[in-house]
Amino acid sequence: MERSQKNADAAKAMKLSAKDLLELKVIDEIIPEPLGGAHRDRNLILSNVRESISKNLNLFKEMSGEEILDQRKNKFLKIGRNKGFISNPENLSTLESKKNNLEQFYVKNKKIFYFTIAFLLLVAFLVTFFL
């Protein structure tokens, strides 16, 4: 099998075709190429790319910088999560990571923690001093 055929098969298996990426919402659109490939009509492909970039940038015209950042972050965080266990996949950028139980316990019980350490050190000192 030729190398290019192997690459095409690998891309298909990994869902890296333009149609797959569009379906997965990794890309926003597929820019049409002239018959025979982009190198056949340079002006047409440049025009199509220019039009696509303008159209996609216009979507951000009325957004603030923070809104744009949140929209892009959410877009990429949602990739592959269509069938997941998330209740609100539209707003993934506001998800907070939960602290582990030991850290939560420590924060809530700092005084008890320090008292326990001090007590254990005192007991260790007394045991070594009097034995």
The predicted structure's pLDDT at residue 50: 92
| Domain locations along the chain | 1-59, 65-94, 97-131
> What pLDDT score does 105 carry?
66
pLDDT tens-digit map of 53-66: 999 899 889 999 89
- pLDDT of res. 90: 57
pTM reported for the whole predicted model? 0.50
pLDDT over 90 percentage in the chain: 12
Contact by Cβ (8 Å): 24, 81:
no
Determine the average pLDDT of the residues in 9-14: 71
Predicted confidence band of residue 51 (pLDDT cuts 50, 70, 90): very high
Quick check: helix, strand or coil at residue 92? Answer: helix
